[in-house]
Amino acid sequence: MTHAQETAFDQSTVDKAQAIVARYPQARSALLPMLHLVQSVEGYVSQDGIRFCAGQLDLSEAEVSAVATFYTMYKRRPCGEHLVSVCTNTLCAALGGDEIYSTLKSHLGVGHEETAGEPGTPGSITLEHAECLAACDLGPVLQVNYEFYDNQTPDKALGLVKALQSGEKPAPTRGAPLTDFKQAELQLAGFFEGRDADLDGPSAAPETLAGAQIAKERGWDAPRMPSNAEFPALPEKK
C-alpha cells in the first residue's frame, strides 16, 4: 500500500468498503458503489483508488479499470466542489441546452469535464455536457451533483453557477437539498447518515404528474391485463 493510499483511504473508508461488500452475495458485485465511495474520498477515481477497490474485492486492477473507464459517472480527473451537468441531448438542445452549455463554458473558461478553480476547493466547478437526464418534460435541465434544476435558461443557469462559485447552495427544483460532489458520491455509495431530511424534498414536478392527475379527475384507467393472458413461446436458443 502506498503512502497516498494510507492517507486517502483510512480505516473508516475500509470499514465502509466492507459494509458495501456485505450487501452482496458475491463481493465483486460491490464494485460500482465502491467506486462511488472512492470518489467521496478523493473527488475522482485515481490509480490508488483503482488499487484500493481491487484489493478490497480480490479483483485485478485491469478489471476495476475496465469498469471505471466505462461509466461516465466515474471521473478520472479531480472534480470541483460542484459538478454541473448540462443536458445537451436532442430535446434539451433544441429548447436551449446547447446555448446554456455555451454560456457556462464561456463564463467558466473551461470545456467538457474540465474544472474552473482548484479541484475540491470551495467554489470550484467541473462542467460537463450530459446525455439525456430523463426530464424531457422540464427541459432544458441541468444537474448540480446530480440534483435537478429544471426549466433553465442561459441567464438562470449562469446565475446558478455564479451563486455556487460564491459559496451559496441554491435549492434544487426537486430532490434533496444541495450538497457538494463528495457528499453526493457518499450517498451514491449507500451512506445517508445525517441526511434523513433529504426525503422531505419534492420528488416530482407538477408537469410530470399532470397526465396522471387529469386521468384521475376524469376517471380514466388503462385496461387491466387478464389473469389468464397467454404469452407467446420464447424462441429456441441456438
In one-letter notation, the amino acid at residue 158 is L
Report the alpha-carbon distance of residue 100 to residue 139 in Å, rounded: 11
The answer on whether 53 is annotated among ligand-binding residues is no
pLDDT band at 194 (very low <50, low <70, confident <90, very high): confident
pLDDT band at 4 (very low <50, low <70, confident <90, very high): very low
pLDDT at 7: 56
- Dihedral class, residue 4 (left if φ above 0, else alpha if ψ from -120 to 50, else beta): alpha
Dihedrals phi, psi of 69, to nearest 5 degrees: -90, -5
The answer on whether 136 is annotated among ligand-binding residues is yes
The answer on whether 92 is annotated among ligand-binding residues is yes
Query: What is the domain partition of the chain in residue ranges?
Result: 19-70, 82-179
Specify the residue for cell string 414536478. 205
Summarize pLDDT for 217-236 with one digit per residue, the tens: 999 998 888 888 888 888 88
- pLDDT value at 3 more than 50: no
- pLDDT value at 195 more than 90: no
The answer on whether 132 is annotated among ligand-binding residues is yes
Q: Taking a C-beta distance cutoff of 8 angstroms, is the pair 38, 52 a contact?
A: yes
Asked if the 82-179 domain carries CATH number 3.40.30.10, the reply is yes
Q: Is the C-alpha dihedral spanning 99, 112, 75, 119 positive or negative?
A: negative
pLDDT at 128: 97
